[in-house]
Amino acid sequence: GEGVKQDYAEALKWYRMAADKGFAKGQANLGAMYNSGLGVPRDLAKALSLFQLAAAQGHPGAQFALGLKYANGIGVPQNHETARKWYRLSADQGYVSAQINLGFIYANGIGVPQNFTTAYKWYRAAAEQGDDTGQINLGELIENGQGVAQDYATAMKLYRLAAAQGAVIAANNIGLLYAKGLGVPQDLVRAYMWFSLGATSGHPEPIRHRDLIFDKLSPEQVAQAQKMAQICLVRQWKDCD
């Protein structure tokens, strides 16, 4: 609407003033506007230049943005080593998205030898800040014993923390632990409940897992699980079982 456009124009004016005075936050925010085309024509070259100025002053968001550009080859030649350098500078300042991406790099061996121990370190840093992706990814390493001793109960705790934030994959993972009886007694009703919660998002994995166990439950059990899922939705995915 008209008001939104005016907001972008006003933000652009103040960010440009701050950037012109050399303030890193202004440079980073102005770069983000050019990067996304918010209130201005999209200009990736200008965004890159502003991110570089802010990153050189230690702005963690700009450092992360540069990492993304080098990781994906957007406006610069793709360079995983340079991407990792910028992610690391950002992550060391506690920037969650950079911590997640570093964890992903090491977990999957992107431009570095695969190293689950280092992936664990960065996912844990993000998880400890309450990030649901960090909690899920850390939980999956622990569930699979990658870089750390296998511990289903701890994985479940992490998935529950993420699920309380509405994370669909966490709901799916909780359902799988209940379905397989890993770290908890096997409980297909609770598994069906958690898969049903995840399925409300339309994500294919919980839908597939829910449908796989449907025939293993009686109509009464399915009804019970569905009722539990409805209660959980009302509670906004908190204290669900």
Does pLDDT of 4 surpass 70?
no
59-109 tens-digit pLDDT: 999 999 999 999 999 999 999 999 999 999 999 999 999 999 999 999 999
21-39 tens-digit pLDDT: 999 999 999 999 999 999 8
Give CA–CA dist 32/168, Å, rounded: 28
The average confidence (pLDDT) of the chain is 95
pLDDT at position 9: 87
CA angle 101, 107, 112 (to 5 degrees): 85
> DSSP readout, 40-76?
S---HHHHHHHHHHHHHTT-HHHHHHHHHHHHHTSSS
Range with lowest mean pLDDT among 4-13, 68-77, 224-233: 4-13
152-161 tens-digit pLDDT: 999 999 999 9
pLDDT at position 2: 46
